[in-house]
Structure 1
Amino acid sequence: MGMSQAYGVRDNDEESIATIHWALDLGVTLLDTANVYANGVNEELVGRAIAGRRDEVVLATKFGIVWTDGAMGARGDAEYVKKSCDESLRRLGVDHIDLYYQHRVDPDTPIEETWGALASLVEAGKIRYAGISEASAATIRAAHAVHPVTALQSEWSLWTRGIEGEILDTCRELGIGVVPFSPLGRGFLTGAVKSMADLPEDDMRRGLPRFAEGNFERNMAIVDALRKLAEEKGVTAGQLALAWVQAQGEDVVPIPGTKRRKYLEENVAAASLELTADDLAAIAAAAPADAIAGERYPERLARAAGK
């Protein structure tokens, strides 16, 4: 997403493609995009990047987020699901999508209709597996009763712990993989953002409560504590935070995003960082779940989350 929108000025596409190619060279196999990222531009970018290398990639994309008057909503009717899939296939330049997510749950469409449409896409060979994003335990169960849910993609990191408990337990009961997005707290846990001045004027994070004055300073204290632990292990705070997510289970596959090859290499290296029980306890003490200041989203973005 960050290559095409949300985190400042859109980068040079050739640099973004080079970063994706380097990821594949380093052994990264899962690439994740969505139809809503820059109105399809990101899917086109990913399609260009994987041309000639399709067999190296587990390709994931999404449908379901719609914007109305600046507020985020959701759509999940069968006609829209099938049309969105065809459009994504065209933009990506592929004949099938490996993992197709319902990006947000439409409160006005029965989940049975949405997942019936996804089942028909599997039957047609247009997608291989279906996933869901930011869904409640009850919704996950209802979807899974129609067609197997392969993966849940939800925000999960040291500063976003909402899926722990009922949602995570439901996924593990049903054999559903967990794909945490923003495992680095939208970059905050890396320590790279030391003040709001470090963010471009058009960066979406300027509108997020956790980056607001007062909350920012309280949350930075947690990053400082993580940095001290990371220095003891000879790694970065971001690597430690990412390794913590990875250590939550073999069914957990975090998807950190980056626009730069340097940070890509750091993220890949974090996958081989082993944390002991003592390490995990120290990290938990440095970043307790109830210490994070501010909500995840402002109201206009929160309405469609967690249905």
Structure 2
Amino acid sequence: MNRRRLMSINLGDNFQVSSLGFGGMALTPVYGPSDPTEALATLNHAVDVGVSFIDTANVYGMGSNEELIAKLLKSRRDEVQLATKFGIASNPATGGREVRGDPAYVKESAAASLKRLDTEVIDLYYLHRLDARVPIEETVGAMAELVQEGKVRHLGLSEVTASELERATAVHPIAAVQSEWSIWSRDVEQSVVPASARLGVGFVPYSPLGRGFLTGTLAAKNLAENDFRRQIPRFDGDAVDANQAVVEVIRRVASELRVGEAEATPAQVALAWLLTQGRRFGLPVVPIPGTRRAARIDENLGAVTLELSDAQLAALDEAADAVVGSRSNTPNWVSSDRE
């Protein structure tokens, strides 16, 4: 067991979580088929080794991800810090997705998530995407009412700008911002990360391993036709070939480091880089890598022991500057589009 290797981190609003979390989206078929029995075993293993901050959303698997996590919570609720999200809804008229942040939908979504999760309270409730039609003050005000009602303990926001975060914190304390952040996704460092540090809000990077690309184990050109990553520009054609250079630098740094008696892995280096960024910016950072396999959780834990030298950090920073392609193909889907 590696439980002793993880310390507790105060994100914001006095919300204590494990120093690495687990992103549940990977347990739904967005990156290919997922076996529910293996998925539940992976979740239990995460908690066994001290990764107790579990992240999901109502839209993952159209609710099935929350239902899966409910099976974990049934016997281990007191061991888990539970985060879920609302705000991305299906649009029956178009067959696509829409964003909703109106107060009625806030309450409706929370009730549905609580039912699927089979729990009385959500520890951290995120607005998944900002609804441009609704002032963020109204959305956060409705979320704050859930706190007053005892249905939610802490509030979070995903993919918000610095100014949106400031407006939200004027309504209610925000425990965490969740946005994509990794060696190849650094746009959040321009505004929202410094704002989070200034406002006392923790940061939860999703896709901290570049949706698997930064691990060096992903053959991007062999992705299944229904793999979500095929929609992301930086996984397309020439871009993915150019971005392989980033992985090579990560591999080289990994070869210079050891975790215990073994050579460090690219995944461990990528996570250690993020933890170092948190110290650079002066704010708590808790990455939430996701995986279907228990062994990957054990591997990820090794990141907390790695110390990167100034030269290694400089090499990784330089590699990050050469990334080709956007991290999203949808206008205004990520905060940098609105900064």
TM range (shorter): over 0.9
Taking the aligned partners of 2:90 and 2:39, their CA distance within structure 1 comes to 26
Structure 1 residue 304 displacement after superposition: 3.1
Tell me which residue corresponds to 1:172. Answer: 197
Structure 1 residue 288 displacement after superposition: 2.9
Q: For the Cα contact (< 8 Å) 1:177–1:251, is it kept in 2? A: yes
Tell me if 1:254 matches 2:287: yes
Tell me if 1:37 matches 2:60: yes
Taking the aligned partners of 1:243 and 1:156, their CA distance within structure 2 comes to 13
Tell me if 1:283 matches 2:320: no
Q: For the Cα contact (< 8 Å) 1:40–1:91, is it kept in 2? A: yes
Query: Which ranges in structure 2 are unaligned for 5 or more consecutive residues?
Result: 1-24, 258-262
The correspondence of residues 114-153 of structure 1 with structure 2, limited to 5 A, is: 114-153=139-178
Tell me which residue corresponds to 1:24. Answer: 47
Tell me which residue corresponds to 1:274. Answer: 307
Tell me if 1:209 matches 2:220: no
Once the two structures are superposed, what CA deviation does each residue of 1:4-37 show, in whole Å capped at 9, x if it has no partner?
A: 131012x111110100111111111100000000
Taking the aligned partners of 2:51 and 2:140, their CA distance within structure 1 comes to 29
Structure 1 residue 298 displacement after superposition: 1.5
Pick one of 204, 208, 216 that aligns with 1:183: 208
- Farther off after superposition, 226-235 or 31-40: 226-235
Tell me if 1:8 matches 2:32: yes
Tell me if 1:64 matches 2:87: yes
Secondary structure at the aligned position of 1:73 is classed as: strand
Tell me which residue corresponds to 2:332. Answer: 303
Structure 1 residue 71 displacement after superposition: 4.5
Secondary structure at the aligned position of 1:146 is classed as: coil
The one-letter code of the counterpart of 1:48 is K
Taking the aligned partners of 1:6 and 1:70, their CA distance within structure 2 comes to 17
Tell me if 1:55 matches 2:55: no
Tell me which residue corresponds to 1:222. Answer: 246
The one-letter code of the counterpart of 2:248 is D
Q: For the Cα contact (< 8 Å) 1:72–1:303, is it kept in 2? A: no
The one-letter code of the counterpart of 2:88 is I
Taking the aligned partners of 1:104 and 1:164, their CA distance within structure 2 comes to 19
- Farther off after superposition, 64-73 or 233-242: 64-73
Percent of residue pairs identical: 47
Secondary structure at the aligned position of 1:258 is classed as: coil
Once the two structures are superposed, what CA deviation does each residue of 1:235-272 show, in whole Å capped at 9, x if it has no partner?
A: 11111011101112250001001011121111122122
Once the two structures are superposed, what CA deviation does each residue of 1:70-115 show, in whole Å capped at 9, x if it has no partner?
A: 5543100111001100110110111000000000000001111111
Structure 1 residue 193 displacement after superposition: 1.2
Once the two structures are superposed, what CA deviation does each residue of 1:108-144 show, in whole Å capped at 9, x if it has no partner?
A: 0111111111111000000000000000111111111
Taking the aligned partners of 1:210 and 1:135, their CA distance within structure 2 comes to 22
Tell me if 1:265 matches 2:304: no
Q: For the Cα contact (< 8 Å) 2:249–2:315, is it kept in 1? A: no
Taking the aligned partners of 1:166 and 1:284, their CA distance within structure 2 comes to 18
CA 1:76–1:90: 2 relative to 1, 3 Å: same
> TM-score under structure 1 normalisation?
0.94
The one-letter code of the counterpart of 1:207 is Q
The one-letter code of the counterpart of 1:243 is A
Structure 1 residue 274 displacement after superposition: 2.2
Q: For the Cα contact (< 8 Å) 1:73–1:303, is it kept in 2? A: no
> TM-score under structure 2 normalisation?
0.86
Query: Which ranges in structure 1 are unaligned for 5 or more consecutive residues?
Result: none
Tell me if 1:84 matches 2:117: no
Q: For the Cα contact (< 8 Å) 2:147–2:154, is it kept in 1? A: yes
Taking the aligned partners of 1:159 and 1:72, their CA distance within structure 2 comes to 26
